[in-house]
Amino acid sequence: MFIGETNQLMLELAEKDKEIAMLHFLNKIRDNCRDEDELYSEILKRSMKTIEAEIGFIIIKKGKSFDKKAKEGEIDKKLLDELATNAIKSNQPVIYNRILNEELLRANISSVLSIPLVFDNTPVGAFLLLNKKFSRAFNRYDMKLATVIAKQIYFASKKLDLFNSLERTAKTTEFEAKAAKSKTKKTFMKNLSDLFGCEFGFVAEVKDRKASVSVATEKITKEVSIFVEGIASESASSAEMVNHLDVSDKIKSILCIPLVYEGNVRSVVGIVNAKSRKFSSLDKELFSDFVKKSKLLC
């Protein structure tokens, strides 16, 4: 075997090792990840590290706009939308190297790896990896691996949807059984916070857009109360759900929902997690549904 053939064989074996390692990672995260944001983010980060990309996006089209499921780095929104649109329209993997494109040159981009995301045989999004000028250019091995990853994103997303649907059904059944027995706000909030595995739940009464905790499932210190009431007031002022991370060293994740009666926010309901686990997108959706169903809190 010639030296050139030996080098080519070694390169192909190395690329195959990358693919096997990536598939192992994807199988693991697909089985263990329970949050959509975390799922897409971890897949993107690992993909960029393996393929050696500086900027990356996982994008799903929603109507006429695009939803960035995960991103690492920044580029001009107009340019990003154009790349995502082209990926969906072409419906095939493409590499653009040393592009003579003014917008890409202005963005300091010289190499683009564009892979369409195909769900149920329909292109619905884009898996985009980009490198800046003077950085490594993408090659056919990168495109092959990125195509494998893009296919696995679909299966990971579908499995997460199924798991969340089953979990939602189980939690709803459990919650409704307990909520029916709740006679006080405190009992109701205790059941609710137990379901979400958080440290405590609370109800804050609102006056002049200022929230004051009236019910808490656990005794809270003045320091924690100040942070909680500040975020509850923010929710009351905006009349929208608020979700914050790392508010203080005592609050890692807090989720607040305002209750509106006759056009005014009368109270804010919240759950607090002092541990490292943040509330997931499923938590936010379920919490909102459960609170709205409660007559005790209105």
Query: Mind listing the pLDDT tens digit for each residue in 141-185?
Result: 999 999 999 988 877 777 777 777 777 777 777 767 766 677 788
Contact 272, 228 (CB under 8 A): yes
Contact 147, 115 (CB under 8 A): yes
Over residues 88-101, mean pLDDT: 87
Quick one: pLDDT at residue 116? Answer: 94
Burial class (CB in 10 A: 0-12, 13-18, 19+), 53: buried
Over residues 193-222, mean pLDDT: 87
Quick one: pLDDT at residue 10? Answer: 66
Model confidence at 236: pLDDT above 80: yes
Quick one: pLDDT at residue 172? Answer: 73
Q: At how many degrees (to 10) do helices 36-51 and 140-179 cross?
A: 160
pLDDT, averaged across the chain: 83
Its CATH architecture, for the domain 3-164, is 2-Layer Sandwich (3.30)
Quick one: pLDDT at residue 53? Answer: 95
CATH superfamily of the domain spanning 181-293: GAF domain (3.30.450.40)
Sequence ranges of the chain with CATH classification 3.30.450.40: 3-164, 181-293
Secondary structure letter of residue 154 according to DSSP: H
Model confidence at 112: pLDDT above 80: yes
Of the pLDDT bands very low, low, confident and very high (cuts 50, 70, 90), residue 4 is low
| 224, 225, 230, 236: CA torsion to nearest 10 | 130
Quick one: pLDDT at residue 188? Answer: 81
Over residues 27-48, mean pLDDT: 84
Cα 195 to its chain centre, rounded Å, is 21
Model confidence at 295: pLDDT above 70: no
282 against 92, higher pLDDT: 92
In angstroms, the CA 66 to CA 74 distance is: 15
